[in-house]
Amino acid sequence: MKIENRRPLGGIVFRVLLIWAAVVAACPVNAFAQEDVASKGFFYPDELNIGEFKSNILLTLAKLPEDVVEEVNSFIYAPLLSYEAQIGLPHGFSVQGGASSNYITFRFSIGPRWSYRTGRFAFSIGDDVAYVFGEIHDFGFASSARGWMNHPDVAAGFAFNKFTLTVKGDATFITSFKQFADDIEVSSDRNFLRSYSIGIFIEQPLWKDNYITLGARAKFAKFYYPAWAAFPTWNRYHFIPEIIIGFIP
């Protein structure tokens, strides 16, 4: 009998938390001031100085629903590599942009953000506009997709002495999204709520001025753009858990 080597998402979460605990324990209490920890975080919604620049490299792992991948009790992860950056503007405003890809799909986004901080607590609201396109060649056919999306979000964070903790909620509205088989349009969607999610993120010094991001996000999606080629068209939400690992240089 063949025994499959399965790794449930809960096991990966536990391992990620163990890694984070080891990193926290390895850092001396006085090695980093609270102000430095708060100002360096990317998800922590701190106010940026005018012209201040931050960036983050992220790897997102998602467990796709069984009725999407059509393999019962199998754990399939969809890795997504992202680069995000922020630049500060006057009066608590900033601009954030980014690019992400899983080889068959590419996404580019940009949008404004407003942040407010008092002591260790910080809050922000923002909205991004994103363009997504992808293409797959298989068995002599070409499937492609392209469209525009809108991503409003809100975040609240607290800076502890050695790390920051941020809770972030967001939603995604499809402005216009079309899928093609060769040159034939097979579906077209516009003006509907695609997904909403809530996540928790921990940002912690790793060494010198380099930080690590560890996060978990619960996403509820009618359509998950990294898996556009496999996602069904029926009108119901799927639960998609995500693990996020990031590096802040």
Residue 124, domain CATH: 2.40.160.20
Question: pLDDT tens digit string along 34-67?
Answer: 456 888 889 999 999 999 999 999 999 988 776 6
Mean pLDDT (the chain) is 81
Task: Answer whether residue 117 shows pLDDT above 70.
Answer: yes
Evaluate whether residue 1 is within a structural domain: no
pTM score above 0.75: yes
Tell me how far apart the alpha carbons of residues 44 and 50 are, in angstroms, rounded to a whole number: 17
Q: Which long-range contacts (CB under 8 A, 24 or more apart) does 126-129 make?
A: 126/96, 126/152, 126/153, 126/154, 126/155, 127/151, 127/152, 127/153, 128/96, 128/153
2-11, 90-99, 212-221, 236-245: which range is least confident on average?
2-11
Segment 89-101 shows an average pLDDT of 96
Work out how many domains the chain is built from and give that number: 1
Segment 24-43 shows an average pLDDT of 62
122 vs 141, higher pLDDT:
122
Evaluate whether residue 94 is within a structural domain: yes
Percent of the chain with pLDDT over 90: 47
Task: Answer whether residue 1 shows pLDDT above 50.
Answer: no
Evaluate whether residue 4 is within a structural domain: no
Tell me how far apart the alpha carbons of residues 107 and 98 are, in angstroms, rounded to a whole number: 8
Output the pLDDT for position 72: 41
Output the pLDDT for position 30: 43
Evaluate whether residue 2 is within a structural domain: no
Question: pLDDT tens digit string along 204-243?
Answer: 988 777 889 999 999 998 888 887 776 665 677 889 999 9
Question: pLDDT tens digit string along 153-195?
Answer: 999 999 998 899 999 999 999 888 888 776 665 555 666 788 9
Evaluate whether residue 238 is within a structural domain: yes
Evaluate whether residue 166 is within a structural domain: yes
Task: Answer whether residue 101 shows pLDDT above 70.
Answer: yes
Residue whose structure tokens are 């695609």: 194
Output the pLDDT for position 181: 73
Tell me how far apart the alpha carbons of residues 16 and 9 are, in angstroms, rounded to a whole number: 11
Asked if residues 153 and 169 have their Cβ atoms less than 8 Å apart, the reply is yes
Evaluate whether residue 91 is within a structural domain: yes
30 vs 152, higher pLDDT:
152
Residue 161 burial by Cβ neighbours in a 10 Å radius (0-12, 13-18, 19+): exposed
- For residue 24, give its domain range: 9-248
